Protein backbone atom coordinates (compact mmCIF):
# COMPACT_ATOMS: atom_id res chain seq x y z
CA UNK A 1 0.00 0.00 0.00
CA UNK A 2 1.62 3.31 -0.96
CA UNK A 3 0.99 6.26 1.28
CA UNK A 4 -0.33 9.62 0.13
CA UNK A 5 1.78 11.57 2.56
CA UNK A 6 4.69 10.94 4.89
CA UNK A 7 5.27 12.65 8.22
CA UNK A 8 8.69 12.85 9.81
CA UNK A 9 8.96 14.18 13.36
CA UNK A 10 6.33 12.69 15.61
CA UNK A 11 6.35 14.97 18.63
CA UNK A 12 2.87 16.16 19.59
CA UNK A 13 2.21 18.45 16.60
CA UNK A 14 3.57 15.96 14.06
CA UNK A 15 1.77 13.02 15.64
CA UNK A 16 -1.52 14.90 15.78
CA UNK A 17 -1.30 16.07 12.17
CA UNK A 18 -0.49 12.51 11.09
CA UNK A 19 -3.52 11.23 13.01
CA UNK A 20 -5.70 13.98 11.54
CA UNK A 21 -4.62 12.98 8.02
CA UNK A 22 -5.27 9.31 8.73
CA UNK A 23 -8.66 10.01 10.29
CA UNK A 24 -9.54 11.84 7.09
CA UNK A 25 -8.89 8.75 5.02
CA UNK A 26 -5.31 9.31 3.87
CA UNK A 27 -2.69 6.62 4.16
CA UNK A 28 0.13 8.16 6.19
CA UNK A 29 3.70 6.92 6.31
CA UNK A 30 5.31 7.62 9.67
CA UNK A 31 8.91 8.31 10.52
CA UNK A 32 10.73 9.53 13.58
CA UNK A 33 14.40 9.69 14.46
CA UNK A 34 13.77 7.28 17.31
CA UNK A 35 11.52 4.43 16.21
CA UNK A 36 10.11 4.18 19.73
CA UNK A 37 7.97 7.28 19.11
CA UNK A 38 6.59 5.82 15.90
CA UNK A 39 5.74 2.60 17.69
CA UNK A 40 4.14 4.43 20.60
CA UNK A 41 1.93 6.34 18.17
CA UNK A 42 0.96 3.16 16.35
CA UNK A 43 0.27 1.30 19.59
CA UNK A 44 -2.01 4.02 20.88
CA UNK A 45 -3.68 5.30 17.74
CA UNK A 46 -2.84 2.80 15.00
CA UNK A 47 -6.52 1.91 14.64
CA UNK A 48 -7.54 5.46 13.70
CA UNK A 49 -6.63 4.98 10.04
CA UNK A 50 -4.06 3.59 7.65
CA UNK A 51 -0.48 4.11 8.72
CA UNK A 52 2.74 2.77 7.23
CA UNK A 53 5.52 2.27 9.75
CA UNK A 54 9.00 3.19 8.53
CA UNK A 55 12.34 3.23 10.29
CA UNK A 56 14.47 5.33 7.96
CA UNK A 57 13.92 8.29 5.67
CA UNK A 58 14.72 5.99 2.74
CA UNK A 59 11.86 3.71 3.80
CA UNK A 60 9.61 6.72 4.28
CA UNK A 61 10.32 8.01 0.78
CA UNK A 62 9.87 4.53 -0.74
CA UNK A 63 6.49 4.20 0.92
CA UNK A 64 5.05 7.25 -0.86
CA UNK A 65 3.09 7.62 -4.06
CA UNK A 66 4.42 10.15 -6.57
CA UNK A 67 4.77 13.06 -6.53
CA UNK A 68 5.87 12.41 -2.99
CA UNK A 69 4.62 14.60 -0.18
CA UNK A 70 6.81 14.65 2.92
CA UNK A 71 5.74 16.72 5.91
CA UNK A 72 8.57 17.71 8.22
CA UNK A 73 7.48 18.44 11.79
CA UNK A 74 10.69 19.16 13.66
CA UNK A 75 11.90 22.12 15.65
CA UNK A 76 12.39 25.30 13.59
CA UNK A 77 15.94 26.24 12.66
CA UNK A 78 18.89 23.88 12.15
CA UNK A 79 16.84 20.67 12.66
CA UNK A 80 14.74 21.52 9.56
CA UNK A 81 17.88 22.00 7.47
CA UNK A 82 19.27 18.72 8.78
CA UNK A 83 16.17 16.76 7.73
CA UNK A 84 15.94 18.56 4.38
CA UNK A 85 19.60 17.72 3.67
CA UNK A 86 18.97 14.05 4.35
CA UNK A 87 15.75 13.96 2.37
CA UNK A 88 16.75 15.78 -0.79
CA UNK A 89 19.08 13.08 -2.22
CA UNK A 90 16.28 10.54 -1.80
CA UNK A 91 13.69 12.54 -3.74
CA UNK A 92 12.82 12.96 -7.41
CA UNK A 93 11.83 15.94 -9.50
CA UNK A 94 8.33 17.16 -8.67
CA UNK A 95 8.34 15.82 -5.10
CA UNK A 96 7.10 18.15 -2.37
CA UNK A 97 8.85 18.82 0.91
CA UNK A 98 6.58 20.49 3.45
CA UNK A 99 7.72 22.28 6.59
CA UNK A 100 4.81 22.58 9.01
CA UNK A 101 6.78 24.13 11.88
CA UNK A 102 7.05 27.74 12.97
CA UNK A 103 10.01 28.46 10.69
CA UNK A 104 11.27 31.92 9.95
CA UNK A 105 9.99 32.99 6.54
CA UNK A 106 13.47 33.97 5.38
CA UNK A 107 14.66 30.42 6.07
CA UNK A 108 11.68 29.19 4.07
CA UNK A 109 12.53 31.49 1.17
CA UNK A 110 16.11 30.24 1.22
CA UNK A 111 15.06 26.58 1.33
CA UNK A 112 12.46 27.07 -1.37
CA UNK A 113 15.01 28.61 -3.72
CA UNK A 114 17.56 25.88 -3.01
CA UNK A 115 15.11 23.04 -3.62
CA UNK A 116 13.61 24.69 -6.70
CA UNK A 117 17.06 24.48 -8.30
CA UNK A 118 16.84 20.73 -7.86
CA UNK A 119 13.35 20.52 -9.33
CA UNK A 120 11.78 19.97 -5.91
CA UNK A 121 8.99 21.93 -4.26
CA UNK A 122 9.54 23.29 -0.79
CA UNK A 123 6.37 24.42 0.92
CA UNK A 124 6.46 26.36 4.17
CA UNK A 125 3.13 25.87 5.89
CA UNK A 126 1.93 27.87 8.85
CA UNK A 127 -0.18 25.72 11.15
CA UNK A 128 -2.10 27.25 14.01
CA UNK A 129 -4.31 25.83 16.68
CA UNK A 130 -1.95 24.11 19.06
CA UNK A 131 -2.11 20.38 19.75
CA UNK A 132 -5.87 20.24 19.74
CA UNK A 133 -6.12 22.08 16.43
CA UNK A 134 -3.53 19.83 14.78
CA UNK A 135 -5.65 16.83 15.65
CA UNK A 136 -9.14 18.13 15.01
CA UNK A 137 -8.67 20.86 12.44
CA UNK A 138 -6.08 23.63 12.44
CA UNK A 139 -5.95 26.83 10.47
CA UNK A 140 -3.43 26.24 7.70
CA UNK A 141 -1.37 28.83 5.82
CA UNK A 142 0.59 27.22 2.97
CA UNK A 143 3.17 29.06 0.88
CA UNK A 144 5.32 27.68 -1.92
CA UNK A 145 4.55 27.39 -5.62
CA UNK A 146 0.99 27.37 -6.90
CA UNK A 147 1.79 24.10 -8.63
CA UNK A 148 2.67 22.45 -5.33
CA UNK A 149 -0.61 23.66 -3.88
CA UNK A 150 -2.51 21.81 -6.61
CA UNK A 151 -1.00 18.57 -5.32
CA UNK A 152 -1.09 19.41 -1.64
CA UNK A 153 -4.04 21.75 -1.17
CA UNK A 154 -6.80 19.13 -1.23
CA UNK A 155 -5.20 17.20 1.66
CA UNK A 156 -4.59 20.30 3.71
CA UNK A 157 -8.06 21.68 3.11
CA UNK A 158 -9.57 18.36 4.12
CA UNK A 159 -7.81 18.27 7.50
CA UNK A 160 -8.25 21.97 8.24
CA UNK A 161 -10.86 23.57 10.46
CA UNK A 162 -14.06 24.64 8.73
CA UNK A 163 -15.70 28.02 9.14
CA UNK A 164 -19.43 28.51 9.80
CA UNK A 165 -20.14 28.68 6.09
CA UNK A 166 -18.27 25.40 5.52
CA UNK A 167 -15.21 27.06 3.95
CA UNK A 168 -11.92 25.33 4.81
CA UNK A 169 -9.58 27.38 6.98
CA UNK A 170 -6.79 26.81 4.49
CA UNK A 171 -5.91 28.57 1.26
CA UNK A 172 -2.80 29.11 -0.80
CA UNK A 173 -1.20 32.24 0.61
CA UNK A 174 1.51 33.00 -1.93
CA UNK A 175 4.91 31.94 -3.17
CA UNK A 176 7.99 30.90 -1.17
CA UNK A 177 7.82 32.15 2.45
CA UNK A 178 4.36 33.76 2.27
CA UNK A 179 2.69 31.07 4.38
CA UNK A 180 5.23 31.26 7.18
CA UNK A 181 5.17 35.05 7.01
CA UNK A 182 1.41 35.14 7.50
CA UNK A 183 1.68 32.61 10.34
CA UNK A 184 4.34 34.80 11.96
CA UNK A 185 2.07 37.86 11.80
CA UNK A 186 -0.77 35.71 13.16
CA UNK A 187 1.46 35.07 16.15
CA UNK A 188 2.28 38.77 16.49
CA UNK A 189 -1.44 39.48 16.68
CA UNK A 190 -1.75 36.55 19.10
CA UNK A 191 0.81 38.17 21.40
CA UNK A 192 -1.02 41.52 21.34
CA UNK A 193 -4.39 39.86 21.84
CA UNK A 194 -3.08 37.96 24.87
CA UNK A 195 -1.49 41.09 26.32
CA UNK A 196 -4.65 43.22 26.01
CA UNK A 197 -6.58 40.51 27.79
CA UNK A 198 -3.90 40.54 30.48
CA UNK A 199 -4.19 44.31 30.79
CA UNK A 200 -7.97 44.06 31.13
CA UNK A 201 -7.54 41.47 33.89
CA UNK A 202 -5.02 43.66 35.71
CA UNK A 203 -7.32 46.70 35.55
CA UNK A 204 -10.34 44.79 36.78
CA UNK A 205 -8.35 43.32 39.62
CA UNK A 206 -6.16 46.26 40.63
CA UNK A 207 -8.55 49.15 39.97
CA UNK A 208 -11.89 47.50 40.68
CA UNK A 209 -10.83 44.75 43.08
CA UNK A 210 -12.56 41.99 41.14
CA UNK A 211 -11.13 38.60 42.05
CA UNK A 212 -10.19 36.05 39.36
CA UNK A 213 -13.18 33.76 39.96
CA UNK A 214 -15.59 36.64 39.50
CA UNK A 215 -13.64 37.87 36.50
CA UNK A 216 -14.10 34.46 34.91
CA UNK A 217 -17.82 35.19 34.81
CA UNK A 218 -17.17 38.60 33.25
CA UNK A 219 -15.01 37.05 30.53
CA UNK A 220 -17.67 34.44 29.90
CA UNK A 221 -20.18 37.25 29.39
CA UNK A 222 -17.79 39.13 27.13
CA UNK A 223 -17.37 35.97 25.11
CA UNK A 224 -21.03 36.18 24.11
CA UNK A 225 -20.63 39.57 22.40
CA UNK A 226 -18.34 41.32 19.94
CA UNK A 227 -15.26 40.10 21.84
CA UNK A 228 -16.22 36.46 21.32
CA UNK A 229 -12.99 34.57 20.66
CA UNK A 230 -10.95 31.55 21.63
CA UNK A 231 -8.54 33.60 23.76
CA UNK A 232 -11.34 35.23 25.77
CA UNK A 233 -12.91 31.81 26.25
CA UNK A 234 -9.75 30.18 27.57
CA UNK A 235 -9.01 33.19 29.78
CA UNK A 236 -12.27 32.53 31.63
CA UNK A 237 -11.11 28.96 32.16
CA UNK A 238 -7.67 30.03 33.39
CA UNK A 239 -9.16 32.61 35.79
CA UNK A 240 -11.65 30.12 37.19
CA UNK A 241 -9.00 27.54 37.92
CA UNK A 242 -8.06 27.11 41.59
CA UNK A 243 -4.69 25.66 42.59
CA UNK A 244 -5.26 22.31 44.30
CA UNK A 245 -2.19 22.63 46.50
CA UNK A 246 -2.92 26.03 48.04
CA UNK A 247 -6.58 26.70 47.31
CA UNK A 248 -5.49 30.01 45.76
CA UNK A 249 -6.47 31.23 42.31
CA UNK A 250 -4.18 29.53 39.79
CA UNK A 251 -3.07 32.94 38.45
CA UNK A 252 -1.73 33.80 41.91
CA UNK A 253 0.59 30.83 42.12
CA UNK A 254 2.08 31.09 38.63
CA UNK A 255 5.31 33.12 38.25
CA UNK A 256 4.39 36.29 36.35
CA UNK A 257 7.12 35.98 33.71
CA UNK A 258 5.76 35.30 30.22
CA UNK A 259 7.79 32.98 28.00
CA UNK A 260 8.23 33.32 24.27
CA UNK A 261 9.61 31.15 21.53
CA UNK A 262 10.35 33.92 19.07
CA UNK A 263 7.56 34.41 16.55
CA UNK A 264 6.31 37.61 18.21
CA UNK A 265 9.83 38.98 18.22
CA UNK A 266 10.28 38.03 14.55
CA UNK A 267 7.09 39.88 13.69
CA UNK A 268 8.43 43.07 15.22
CA UNK A 269 11.88 42.63 13.67
CA UNK A 270 10.30 42.18 10.23
CA UNK A 271 7.94 45.09 10.81
CA UNK A 272 10.90 47.34 11.55
CA UNK A 273 12.52 46.25 8.29
CA UNK A 274 9.29 46.98 6.42
CA UNK A 275 8.73 50.30 8.19
CA UNK A 276 5.39 49.00 9.46
CA UNK A 277 4.19 50.65 12.67
CA UNK A 278 3.01 47.60 14.63
CA UNK A 279 3.28 49.45 17.93
CA UNK A 280 0.75 47.36 19.86
CA UNK A 281 2.34 44.11 18.75
CA UNK A 282 5.77 45.46 19.65
CA UNK A 283 4.57 46.55 23.09
CA UNK A 284 3.18 43.08 23.72
CA UNK A 285 6.58 41.54 22.98
CA UNK A 286 8.31 44.11 25.21
CA UNK A 287 5.75 43.48 27.96
CA UNK A 288 6.78 39.82 27.99
CA UNK A 289 10.38 41.00 28.17
CA UNK A 290 9.77 43.25 31.18
CA UNK A 291 7.79 40.53 32.93
CA UNK A 292 10.85 38.31 32.68
CA UNK A 293 13.27 40.86 34.15
CA UNK A 294 12.76 39.57 37.68
CA UNK A 295 15.91 41.09 39.16
CA UNK A 296 15.23 44.61 37.88
CA UNK A 297 11.58 44.41 38.90
CA UNK A 298 12.60 43.49 42.44
CA UNK A 299 14.92 46.51 42.69
CA UNK A 300 12.34 48.83 41.15
CA UNK A 301 9.74 47.80 43.71
CA UNK A 302 12.08 48.91 46.47
CA UNK A 303 13.44 52.06 44.90
CA UNK A 304 11.23 53.75 42.33
CA UNK A 305 8.49 56.13 43.44
CA UNK A 306 4.97 55.67 42.08
CA UNK A 307 3.05 58.75 43.20
CA UNK A 308 -0.18 57.12 42.12
CA UNK A 309 -3.10 59.51 42.20
CA UNK A 310 -6.12 58.81 44.31
CA UNK A 311 -8.66 58.88 41.53
CA UNK A 312 -12.08 57.38 41.64
CA UNK A 313 -12.54 54.49 39.27
CA UNK A 314 -15.17 55.58 36.72
CA UNK A 315 -18.67 54.21 37.01
CA UNK A 316 -19.32 51.27 34.69
CA UNK A 317 -15.60 50.61 34.59
CA UNK A 318 -16.06 46.96 33.64
CA UNK A 319 -17.91 48.00 30.51
CA UNK A 320 -15.28 50.67 29.84
CA UNK A 321 -12.56 48.04 30.02
CA UNK A 322 -14.50 45.80 27.67
CA UNK A 323 -14.70 48.57 25.12
CA UNK A 324 -11.03 49.49 25.52
CA UNK A 325 -10.16 45.84 25.03
CA UNK A 326 -12.24 45.68 21.86
CA UNK A 327 -10.66 48.84 20.43
CA UNK A 328 -7.10 47.78 21.28
CA UNK A 329 -7.69 44.33 19.86
CA UNK A 330 -8.97 45.84 16.64
CA UNK A 331 -5.86 48.02 16.40
CA UNK A 332 -3.66 44.92 16.75
CA UNK A 333 -5.43 43.26 13.84
CA UNK A 334 -5.24 46.50 11.84
CA UNK A 335 -1.50 46.75 12.46
CA UNK A 336 -0.88 43.10 11.59
CA UNK A 337 -2.88 43.35 8.38
CA UNK A 338 -1.20 46.62 7.45
CA UNK A 339 2.12 44.84 7.84
CA UNK A 340 0.90 42.07 5.53
CA UNK A 341 0.11 44.73 2.93
CA UNK A 342 3.66 46.11 3.20
CA UNK A 343 5.18 42.63 3.01
CA UNK A 344 3.12 41.78 -0.06
CA UNK A 345 4.65 44.74 -1.86
CA UNK A 346 8.18 44.02 -0.64
CA UNK A 347 8.22 40.31 -1.47
CA UNK A 348 5.90 40.28 -4.47
CA UNK A 349 3.15 38.30 -2.76
CA UNK A 350 -0.40 38.97 -3.82
CA UNK A 351 -1.74 38.55 -0.29
CA UNK A 352 -5.51 38.43 -0.21
CA UNK A 353 -6.46 39.86 3.14
CA UNK A 354 -10.07 38.68 2.89
CA UNK A 355 -8.87 35.10 2.39
CA UNK A 356 -6.39 35.38 5.22
CA UNK A 357 -9.09 36.71 7.56
CA UNK A 358 -11.33 33.92 6.32
CA UNK A 359 -8.91 31.16 7.21
CA UNK A 360 -8.29 32.67 10.64
CA UNK A 361 -12.00 32.38 11.44
CA UNK A 362 -11.64 28.90 12.91
CA UNK A 363 -8.90 26.55 14.07
CA UNK A 364 -6.25 29.10 14.97
CA UNK A 365 -5.40 30.74 18.27
CA UNK A 366 -6.67 34.20 17.23
CA UNK A 367 -10.01 32.89 15.96
CA UNK A 368 -12.66 35.42 16.84
CA UNK A 369 -16.13 36.54 15.81
CA UNK A 370 -14.51 39.76 14.66
CA UNK A 371 -12.76 37.98 11.78
CA UNK A 372 -16.02 37.58 9.92
CA UNK A 373 -16.33 41.37 9.77
CA UNK A 374 -12.64 41.76 8.91
CA UNK A 375 -13.12 39.35 6.02
CA UNK A 376 -16.13 41.34 4.83
CA UNK A 377 -14.14 44.58 5.08
CA UNK A 378 -11.61 43.33 2.53
CA UNK A 379 -14.07 41.65 0.17
CA UNK A 380 -14.44 42.96 -3.36
CA UNK A 381 -12.76 46.12 -4.57
CA UNK A 382 -13.38 48.14 -1.47
CA UNK A 383 -10.06 47.26 0.17
CA UNK A 384 -9.54 49.93 2.85
CA UNK A 385 -6.06 51.43 3.23
CA UNK A 386 -6.29 50.44 6.88
CA UNK A 387 -8.72 48.04 8.53
CA UNK A 388 -9.86 50.85 10.83
CA UNK A 389 -11.19 52.74 7.78
CA UNK A 390 -13.72 50.06 6.86
CA UNK A 391 -17.12 51.65 7.57
CA UNK A 392 -18.16 48.97 10.08
CA UNK A 393 -15.02 49.56 12.13
CA UNK A 394 -15.04 53.34 11.84
CA UNK A 395 -18.34 53.06 13.61
CA UNK A 396 -17.51 50.38 16.20
CA UNK A 397 -14.13 51.76 17.24
CA UNK A 398 -15.52 55.28 17.31
CA UNK A 399 -18.15 54.14 19.78
CA UNK A 400 -15.42 52.73 22.05
CA UNK A 401 -13.20 55.82 22.09
CA UNK A 402 -14.65 57.62 25.17
CA UNK A 403 -14.35 54.47 27.29
CA UNK A 404 -10.89 53.76 25.86
CA UNK A 405 -9.67 57.22 26.92
CA UNK A 406 -11.18 56.85 30.40
CA UNK A 407 -9.53 53.47 30.88
CA UNK A 408 -6.08 54.60 29.75
CA UNK A 409 -6.32 57.81 31.83
CA UNK A 410 -7.41 55.85 34.91
CA UNK A 411 -4.65 53.29 34.44
CA UNK A 412 -2.02 56.02 34.15
CA UNK A 413 -3.30 57.75 37.31
CA UNK A 414 -3.30 54.50 39.25
CA UNK A 415 0.11 53.39 37.99
CA UNK A 416 -1.19 50.28 36.26
CA UNK A 417 0.84 49.60 33.11
CA UNK A 418 -1.33 49.16 30.03
CA UNK A 419 1.24 49.28 27.22
CA UNK A 420 -0.98 47.89 24.48
CA UNK A 421 -4.17 49.72 25.51
CA UNK A 422 -2.27 53.00 25.58
CA UNK A 423 -0.05 52.51 22.53
CA UNK A 424 -3.06 51.41 20.49
CA UNK A 425 -4.88 54.57 21.48
CA UNK A 426 -1.78 56.58 20.58
CA UNK A 427 -1.71 54.86 17.18
CA UNK A 428 -5.37 55.72 16.64
CA UNK A 429 -4.80 59.34 17.64
CA UNK A 430 -1.59 59.62 15.60
CA UNK A 431 -3.42 58.44 12.49
CA UNK A 432 -6.17 61.00 13.10
CA UNK A 433 -3.97 63.93 13.96
CA UNK A 434 -3.81 66.75 11.46
CA UNK A 435 -0.27 67.87 12.35
CA UNK A 436 2.23 65.53 13.97
CA UNK A 437 5.41 66.74 15.67
CA UNK A 438 7.34 65.05 12.88
CA UNK A 439 7.90 68.54 11.43
CA UNK A 440 10.03 69.36 14.48
CA UNK A 441 12.02 66.19 13.95
CA UNK A 442 12.56 67.14 10.31
CA UNK A 443 13.86 70.51 11.49
CA UNK A 444 16.24 68.87 13.94
CA UNK A 445 17.50 66.46 11.29
CA UNK A 446 18.04 69.27 8.85
CA UNK A 447 19.89 71.33 11.46
CA UNK A 448 22.32 68.72 12.68
CA UNK A 449 22.77 66.70 9.51
CA UNK A 450 21.46 68.65 6.52
CA UNK A 451 18.96 65.84 6.00
CA UNK A 452 16.59 68.19 4.13
CA UNK A 453 12.80 68.53 4.28
CA UNK A 454 9.75 69.16 2.12
CA UNK A 455 7.43 72.15 2.45
CA UNK A 456 3.67 72.04 2.90
CA UNK A 457 3.21 74.71 0.23
CA UNK A 458 5.02 73.31 -2.77
CA UNK A 459 7.11 70.67 -4.47
CA UNK A 460 10.81 70.20 -3.90
CA UNK A 461 13.39 69.35 -1.27
CA UNK A 462 14.96 72.05 0.86
CA UNK A 463 17.70 72.79 3.35
CA UNK A 464 18.01 75.74 5.70
CA UNK A 465 21.49 77.21 6.15
CA UNK A 466 21.28 76.92 9.94
CA UNK A 467 24.91 77.87 10.57
CA UNK A 468 24.71 80.91 8.30
CA UNK A 469 21.86 83.30 7.76
CA UNK A 470 19.00 80.77 8.02
CA UNK A 471 18.14 81.26 4.39
CA UNK A 472 16.59 78.31 2.57
CA UNK A 473 18.12 76.61 -0.42
CA UNK A 474 16.76 74.02 -2.77
CA UNK A 475 18.45 70.71 -2.09
CA UNK A 476 18.47 67.09 -3.15
CA UNK A 477 17.80 64.65 -0.34
CA UNK A 478 20.78 62.35 -0.44
CA UNK A 479 20.36 60.91 3.06
C1 LIG B 1 -0.46 28.65 17.21
C2 LIG B 1 0.55 29.22 18.18
C3 LIG B 1 1.79 28.40 18.27
C4 LIG B 1 2.86 29.01 19.16
C5 LIG B 1 2.53 29.04 20.60
C6 LIG B 1 3.66 29.43 21.52
O7 LIG B 1 -0.85 29.41 16.35
O8 LIG B 1 -0.86 27.50 17.36
O9 LIG B 1 0.92 30.48 17.74
O10 LIG B 1 2.29 28.22 16.97
O11 LIG B 1 4.02 28.31 19.00
O12 LIG B 1 1.44 29.84 20.81
O13 LIG B 1 4.19 30.67 21.23
P14 LIG B 1 5.09 31.44 22.31
O15 LIG B 1 5.84 30.40 23.08
O16 LIG B 1 6.00 32.30 21.52
O17 LIG B 1 4.14 32.18 23.17
Among 103, 97, 104, 185, smallest CA distance to 144 is for 97
Q: What is the pLDDT of residue 255?
A: 98
**Its pTM surpasses 0.90:** yes
Ligand 1 shell residues, CB under 6 Å = 102, 128-130, 187, 190, 259-261, 263-264, 364-365
pLDDT at 102 over 70: yes
Q: What is the mean pLDDT of residues 235-256?
A: 98
Chain length of the chain:
479
Q: Rounded mean pLDDT of the chain?
A: 97
What is the secondary structure of 208-234 as a DSSP string? T---HHHHHHHHHHHTTTTT-BHHHHH
Q: What is the pLDDT of residue 382?
A: 74
Closest Cα to atom 9, ligand 1: which residue? Answer: 187
pLDDT for 393-431, tens place per residue? 999 999 999 999 999 999 999 999 999 999 999 999 999
176: number of Cβ within 10 Å? 25
Closest Cα to atom 17, ligand 1: which residue? Answer: 260
Q: What is the ipTM of this complex?
A: 0.97
425: number of Cβ within 10 Å? 22
pLDDT for 120-154, tens place per residue? 999 999 999 999 999 999 999 999 999 999 999 99
Q: What is the pLDDT of residue 479?
A: 52
Question: Comparing 245 with 382, which gets the higher pLDDT?
Answer: 245
Q: What is the pLDDT of residue 477?
A: 54
Instruction: Please tell me the distance between residue 200's alpha carbon and the centre of ligand 1 in angstroms.
Output: 21
Catalytic residue annotation: 183, 190
Q: What is the mean pLDDT of residues 448-476?
A: 97
Closest Cα to atom 6, ligand 1: which residue? Answer: 261
Instruction: Please tell me the distance between residue 187's alpha carbon and the centre of ligand 1 in angstroms.
Output: 7
pLDDT at 326 over 90: yes
pLDDT at 287 over 70: yes
pLDDT for 366-395, tens place per residue? 999 999 999 999 998 778 999 999 999 999
CA angle 132/292/191 to nearest 5° reads: 40
Q: What is the pLDDT of residue 478?
A: 53
As a 3-state breakdown, the chain gives helix, strand, coil percent values, each rounded to 5, of 55, 10, 35
Q: What is the pLDDT of residue 445?
A: 98
* Residue of 125, 130, 259 best suited for mutating to test ligand 1, as the one with most atoms within 8 Å of CB: 130
pLDDT for 14-71, tens place per residue? 999 999 999 999 999 999 999 999 999 999 999 999 999 999 999 999 999 999 999 9
Q: Across the beta sheet with 139-142, what order do the strands follow?
A: 51-53, 28-31, 5-8, 69-72, 96-99, 121-128, 139-142
CA-187 nearest atom, ligand 1: 9
DSSP reduced 3-state for 125: strand
Amino acid sequence: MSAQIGVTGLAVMGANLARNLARNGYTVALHNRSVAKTDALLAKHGDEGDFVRTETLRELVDALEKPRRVLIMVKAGAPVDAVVDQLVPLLEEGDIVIDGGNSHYQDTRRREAALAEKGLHFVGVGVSGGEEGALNGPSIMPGGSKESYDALGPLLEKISAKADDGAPCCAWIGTDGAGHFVKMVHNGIEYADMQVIGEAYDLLRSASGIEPAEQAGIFEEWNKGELSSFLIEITAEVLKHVDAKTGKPFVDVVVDAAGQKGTGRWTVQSALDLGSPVSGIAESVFARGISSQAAQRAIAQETLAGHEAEVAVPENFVEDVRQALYASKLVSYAQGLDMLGAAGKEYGWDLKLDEIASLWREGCIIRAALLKDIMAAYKGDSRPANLLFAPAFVESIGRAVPAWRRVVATAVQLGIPVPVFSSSLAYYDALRRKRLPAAVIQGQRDLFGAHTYQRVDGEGTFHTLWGEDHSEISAVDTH
